[in-house]
Chains A and B, each alone.
Chain A
Amino acid sequence: MELANIFKYLYQSLANSGLPQVWVDIIALVAAGLIVFGVLAVIALFLVWWERKVSAHIQQRFGPMRTGWHGVLQTIADAIKLIQKEDITPTNVDRPVFYWAPIIAFVAAFLAYIAIPFGKGLIVSDLNIGILFIIAITTFTIISLLMAGWGSNNKYALLGGMRSAAQVVSYEVPMVVSILPIILFAGTLSMVEIVEAQAKIYQWFIFRVPFGPIAFIIYIIAGTAETNRTPFDLPEAEQELVAGFNVEYSGMKFAMFFLAEFVNMFTVCAIATTLFLGGWQGPFLPSWVWFLGKTLVLVFLLMWFRWTYPRLRVDQLMEFSWKFLVPLSFANLIIAGFMKHSKWFNW
């Protein structure tokens, strides 16, 4: 049941069909891109539904029930409805900025998956700087949020955009620094090799005491902040900024932001799975099932956070990052470096 074999077989038959190699590669890339896109779109829609269900059951409700079995068609209905909605461009907006913001958010959210291994051999392109690429790409989201906030010509949106800019910039630092020990130990930037470095369960980076769990916690906190979710959902704090940066967006553009948010959440969890939880490594089941399962557990954790905690204030958010997370992550890095080079602690 390894999906990779199927793809390999398809690729082989394509290569044997007599087309020039260039065309084969192009077709394969496009197909891979489309498959990733499709899978992610389905995952994002599923996540929206799942989030509503999780929140409902935490709150002793049912959540969507009347659209399909237990509301499984709910998010599809939402998407179809959003497509039908009128696409308003308010009069005073900065048109190009306003127009491109959701598209950038959407594209940036999906681009990261080029370098994430979904399973054994299931990767669009095994970049040798994979992790660097992913971190660079995920930062793109912030540009789109800033554009949305600026372009909307709305004070709430502007405040939301500014908040998200400040927030993501300050949480990017601990996030990257918390990843560094992993790279240090794995000795590579390639995602596939990082996964392969965690073949046994005790080799998962989360279990490499003491630096592993700390790095994992820092990463999850920073990741929550990156994806603008409670308790760090300041850019779209409903009770303060109405809807934050996307206050002026309607219809399809809003749907793009909405989907991008959930894809980002999945991205953060997928990276965490790859870096800390051994990626697709696991016995018995096919590798992609392991990957999905681990990622969804992390997603569930993020949802659980969201439906439990109140929101931080903007200055406290900054303080928490700069005064606590950044020093902690650097200390963690030093510990990891020390461990790496001491002979009596070699994994």
Chain B
Amino acid sequence: MDHTELTKYILEKFPGKIELLDTGKAEPFFKISADFLLDFCRSIHSDEKLFIDFLCNIGAVDTGKKFEVVYSVASVKNHIRFDFKLEQEYEGAEIDSIQEIWAGANWHEREVWELYGINIRNHGNLTRFLLPDDWNQGFPMRKNWDAPDFVRMPEQ
């Protein structure tokens, strides 16, 4: 499947629930709503034509206004790849865990929780792992984060 076919297929498969973004370069980029995440993942994982069996990456983004969580997925069997993302407000950001579909999501989600403070539902093991165990300075990857010993690059 090339990109246009793939885009068409996915848009037709989930009518109304999924939106194609024009910011995505190279590969199709979709936007879904947060409560649709689990269903979406399940269906792309089990769909015959897509068979997305490989989770490349989960990354959170702090755009300054809200959080975005970007999922990059691929199919090893069908050689297709696309990304989708969902948006979350700053307050009470919370997403579902997709570990039941791709077990490798575990650490990616933990990282999202640890560095951005986005809560993961049903994760099961939300403990610190990148930061020191006694870290108490909040979520360092947020744009407005600051700490006493954090030195910013001098503006040139």
A–B contact (CB under 8 angstroms)? no
Which residues of B line the A interface, CB within 8 A?
none
